[in-house]
A and B are shown apart, each in its own frame.
Chain A
Amino acid sequence: MEKAIAPFEFRQCASILKATGEKAKNLRELREIIARVSDEAIFHHTYQYFLKGHIYQYTNDFAQWAGESLEEEALAEHLSVIDPYEFKTMEDLRGALLAVIDRYLEDFPEPREAMSGDEFHFNETITLIFPVGIRAKNLAEFLMAIKYVDAGSIYYHFYEARVRLGGGIDDFSAWIETSLDKKDLAEKVRAIDPFMHSIEEIRKHIIEVVEKEARRDMEVV
């Protein structure tokens, strides 16, 4: 008898924004607040950047603000290279952000101020996770579902999962490898760079690799 495949249950997350009341108008204030603000605020301004649709120029809110509001583009580039998924704890990530800012402040001790009204506001989020009522039992159903679900669901399984699972692993590739036993396909999904695409582009790339595999399976039959 064939082994029963555990279905993939699609879930989704939505966040509500909470103000911390902290705001920075220049780089020194930003540094000082990053050093003491909650882990949740650091999490929001880095990991959750992609939930916004990734239509901005950089890869986290701090870099975006440095580039757009302070016009310190070199700093924005340095901050953009920080990969939050490389760090085991939020403290390590916080340390990496501070190290980049400190290095920049050594070279340019008097960076400019943001215009009034354009300060950096530190926020946190409360995240609600819910099932979307879609279940895939095989690759063909998975392909249908991935085309259908909201971007918030792709975010939850592709980005948020990396924090939950660690090691650069997302829910999709984990299921493809363990439940469908398709290691090569899982590797292809894992090879999609989360930083270089919007959620919709991620969706497109997943569809591309999964469709190719599903077609091959069908042709063998």
Chain B
Amino acid sequence: MATVVSVSDGGIIVGKPKWRPLENEGNLALLLLLPTVALLLMFIAYPFVRGILLAVTNSKVGVIGDFVGFENFARLLKDPIFHAVVYNTFLYTFVTTVFKLILGLWLALLLNRDFKFKAFTRAFILLPFIVPTVLACFAWKWMFDPTFSVINWMLFKLGIVAAGAGVNWLGDGDMAMLSIMIVNIWRGVPFFAISLMAGLQTISPDLGEAAAIDGAKPLQRFWYITWPLLMPVTMVVVLFSVIQTFSDFQIVYVMTGGGPANATHLFATYAYQLGIGTGLLSQGAAVSLAMFPLLFAIVIFQLMYIRRVETR
């Protein structure tokens, strides 16, 4: 049999389990988690420590630097481009998140109805989110081209702009910021819409009907029933999106490269320009790490929120 037995008094046998270390939950968990923990330690924890070490030295590519304390951060505080970066990043994150939420919610409400080709429509709507961002950005860049812009042609045909006086989408600082915001919103709306739609589907239609019988008008039904019940999903989606947008790189890198005249630099693109472009690794690492406090605050907030929702 499967057991080794020892006979004690009175003919009673004490069953002794075979030696199977993986039947112990702790041991099995250790084994299962080993590859994950090893990879994450090597490629997340270690780089994080290295990043901090880089940020407090004056290393350049190929040159191991000396310890300089907080000099890199002190320099950033005096750097006008960094000031612009902070302003740009907050503005970019705030404006796009607001629009993504409004448009995404609207689209989710539209998608939540029954109509022909619903599955088909839903599948197509996610395309901006799944296609490689860099490649999609090239399509936008081509649509924003100063000379050949199809968007300007549309505005021209609608009589909004005159021939030869089109919108200088990527050449003007403010318009460039607007352009990258449009692209970010374009890419983010599908994610908001699909996630919020999933949230909407968990809300029983009975509630809306009960409220309708109680005399609530559509807007009231949305405000008093749908919106509060959707709140947990909305919070998570917004926080995810804020993290992604705050640390965005690809859209700006392709559309404007941070220009014109640093008008659209974000943390990530500025860090890239300093650290990889000019080889000032330490300063680049310092710019990247400057994102950390806010990201950390968002993560803590999110964890607390999830815990609150779960224990409710």
Bound together: no
